[in-house]
Amino acid sequence: MDYRDQPPPHRGREAAQRINEIRDRFEWTRAPGIGPSLSILGDLRDKHVIEVGCGGGHNLAHLVAFHGACGVGIDHDSAKIERACRTYGMVANLAFVEAEASAYMRAQPHASIDICLSIFGAFSFSAPAPLTVGVAHALRSGGLLAMTFRKSDTTDMVFILQRR
């Protein structure tokens, strides 16, 4: 018996509204603590990080608050952006924008982003070609695209790609 055999915790709407603290961990996968070390992203101080499909913004808020990144979370779902703003709106150097991910990335200045994240985000739910073009446009040389995908009911895959 392991953690996958346990029922999921209750995640009602009320609990989400009571999150007052920034999580002290970054979660790459559905299994807490599983995934590469954040050191794989390098020194995050003053790095421009965009998360496409940010949801509630938990991972991005962690990178900004604990590692000194400057972050923008993008999501097409207004409810998720409202929740992220309500929960983490007080964090300096962190913003959330309701937008379609590929269009937002194409609108960024060329080579202006250090890291693009998609942790079960836009790359999981969007056509990959337009989003890849947008990310390639916005990522600087040496910039990273870090993505997590659900492989099966029990397995997730993390990919980290570096722009030439």
pLDDT in tens for each of the 164 residues of the chain?
Answer: 444 444 444 444 333 333 457 988 999 999 999 999 999 999 999 999 999 999 999 999 999 999 999 999 999 999 999 999 999 999 999 999 999 999 999 999 999 999 999 999 999 998 899 999 999 999 999 999 999 999 999 999 999 999 99
Longest distance between any two alpha carbons in the chain, whole Å = 50
Contact 144, 160 (CB under 8 A): yes
CB 57 within 8 A of CB 35: no
> Cα–Cα distance between 2 and 34 in angstroms, integer?
14
CB 107 within 8 A of CB 50: no
Q: How many Cα neighbours within 13 Å face the side chain of 21?
A: 3
Measured distance CA(128)–CA(26) in Å, rounded: 24
pTM of the model: 0.86
